[in-house]
Amino acid sequence: MQQLEEKNISQVVINYTPKDFDSGEEPRWCPGCGDYAILNAVRSAFAELSKELGIPKEKFVIVSGIGCSSRFPYYMNTYGMHGIHGRAPAIATGVKVANPDLSVWVVTGDGDGLAIGGNHLIHAMRRNIDIKILLFDNRIYGLTKGQYSPTSVMGQITKSSPYGVIERPVDPVMLALSQGTTFIARAIDRDIKRLTEIIIEAGKHKGTAFIQIYQNCVVFNDKAFDDFAGKEVRSERVIELKHGKPLLFGKNLDKGIIIENGRPKVVKIGENGITEDKITVYDETDFYLNFVIATMHYPDFPEPIGIIRRVKVPTFEELLYNQIEHAKKLKGEGNLQKLIDKNSWEILPS
């Protein structure tokens, strides 16, 4: 009863501003690091989410691994766990199954989430446990001072690849697609407005949400995304995916994507008889379309940004708790004494 009242009270007073999510701890990131922008976006998104969904501050939990990015929980005035390298999805899974009422978030890096923690990431995604995973992708190991990561590009010169990287990078969105992840998005740190919107959408999603965030590391991999994410070039080199809307891009929205022989193709409206109604309309629930669009990368194509996939599928914790209820109906609520007494025999006093 008392708990219920408490809940009602907190629901009534929810009117947070981003500042309410500031823990007061001074961030220790390098000046100019993309992580600051993401921090601001998450604070704004959380304030918005708590208003829209009635989530009080104490119900947010942020779990991270190890890396510059993984310092994140310390700067948020929520419950938080700075875990160990790569294991945040596992810790978050434990939090969520223990208390499905919580809004559980994971902050991870390209090394944390895709190298050492790749296994947990894959399995969280395929289970569709309701956790939101923010992968800060700077294509470098920041905290350990500049080694190449699983998303570093071929030829990239880093401290541990002085002659250039000779491994092909992992594509995190493709990986997420292959696991049937129910919410997949890509965002750019410096486009705070869009980033905030996407985080809010992830927060509203029920199931695993995965966002690859291109994040600039000013010290060890500066300008890694400037070719397409730079302010001046972005509109021409990035395509904003919008569900139900044609795949248009360009300053004047005069370019678009059509699917020809199963492959994406860049076309210009007004050229070769292309009109706007010929442009493919994006459907975030169509796996094949999601897949085709995810194959596009700059410079061959504009880099897709936004929600790549979103579908409704029962979550892991729903299935788990439903199964518990089902088992109770089937076998009756467990009685421990009865279970222990099964197959027993009695020795009578002689």
Partner 1 sequence: MEESELGRKRKLEKVTVKFAGDSGDGIQLIGSQFTVSTAIYGNDFAIFPEFPAEIRAPAGTTYGVSAFQIQFGAIDIMTPGDEPDALVAFNPAALKVNLNLIKPGALVILNIDEFDEINFKKAEWNSIIKGEENLDEILSKYEVIKVQMNKLVIDALKDVNLPHKEKLRSRNFFALGLVCWIFMRPLEPILKFIKENFGKKPEIAKANELALKAGYNYGETLEIKHKFVKIEIPKYKFEPGKYRYVSGNEAFALGILAIKEKAKIPVVFASYPITPASDILHYLESYRNFGIIALQMEDEISAVNTAIGASFAGALGITATSGPGLSLKSEGINLAVMTELPLIVIDNQRSGPSTGMPTKTEQTDLLFALFGRHGESPLIVIAPISAGDCFYSIIEAAKLSIKYMTPVIILSELYIAMGSEPWKIPDINKIPDIEVKFWKDGSKFYPYSRDENTLARPWAKPGTPGLEHRIGGLEKSHIYGRVSYDPQNHDFMVKLRAEKIRRVQTDIPDVEVYGEEDAELLVLGWGSTFGHIRAVVERAREKGWPVAHAHLKYINPLPKNLPDILKKFKRVLIPELNLGQLLLLIRGKFLVDAVGFNKVTGTPFKESELMMAVEKELMNMEKEGKLSKPIHIQEGRFEEKEKGGAVKHATA
Helix boundaries (H) for 279-315? 287-294
110 binds, among ligand SF4, Mg ion, partner 1, none (CB under 5 to 8 A by kind): Mg ion
Q: Applying CB under 6 A, which residues contact ligand TPP?
A: 66-69, 85, 109-112, 136, 138, 140-144, 149
- Near ligand SF4 in 141-160, by CB under 6 A: 142
CB of 114 to ligand SF4, least distance (A): 15
Given a contact cutoff of 8 angstroms between Cβ atoms, the answer to whether 113 and 121 are in contact is: yes
Q: Whole-number minimum distance, CB 168 to Mg ion, in Å?
A: 17
Q: Is residue 228 within 8 Å of residue 237, measured between CB atoms? A: yes
Write down the least CB distance from residue 62 to Mg ion, Å. Answer: 18
Say how far apart CA 211 and CA 214 lie, in whole Å.
10
Interface with Mg ion, residue 182, by CB under 5 A: no
Asked if 80 and 73 touch (Cβ cutoff 8 Å), the reply is yes
Cβ-contact 196, 45 below 8 angstroms: yes
Query: How many Cα atoms occupy the beta-carbon half-sphere of 216 within 13 Å?
Result: 20
Does 344 help bind partner 1 (rule: CB under 8 A)? Answer: yes
| 184, 217, 267, 308: residue in contact with ligand SF4 (rule CB under 6 A) | 217
Among 84, 153, 192, 219, binds ligand SF4 (CB under 6 A): 219
Give the integer Cα–Cα distance in Å for 145 and 42.
25
Contacts with 90 (C-beta within 8 Å, 6 or more apart), sequence order: 120, 124
Q: By C-alpha distance, which of 173, 274, 287, 169 is closest to 224?
A: 169
Cβ proximity to partner 1: between 141 and 282 the closer is 141
Whether residue 188 contacts residue 227, with contact meaning beta carbons closer than 8 Å, is answered with no
Nearer to ligand SF4, 68 or 238 (CB): 68
Nearest approach, Cβ of residue 280 and ligand SF4 (Å): 36
Burial 17-31 (b: 16+ CB within 10 A, else e): ebeebeeeeebebee
Q: Are 68 and 29 in contact (CB under 8 A)?
A: yes
Minimum Å gap between C-beta 111 and Mg ion is 5
Pick one of ligand SF4, ligand TPP, partner 1, none as the site partner of residue 111 (Cβ within 5 to 8 A by kind).
ligand TPP
Q: Which of residues 104-123 bind Mg ion (CB under 5 A)?
A: 109-110
Choices 56-64, 102-110, 240-248, 320-328; region in contact with Mg ion by CB under 5 A: 102-110
Spatial distance between the Cα atoms of 306 and 199, rounded to a whole number of angstroms: 10
Q: Select the span of 25-33, 75-83, 93-101, 231-239 touching ligand SF4 (CB under 6 A).
A: 25-33
Question: Per-residue contact track with partner 1, 88 to 127, x per CB under 8 A?
Answer: -xxxxxxxxxxx-xx----------------xx-xx----
Site residues, partner 1 (CB under 8 A): 6, 10, 23, 25, 56-59, 61, 63, 66, 73-74, 76-84, 87, 89-99, 101-102, 119-120, 122-123, 320, 323-324, 326-328, 330-334, 336-337, 339-350
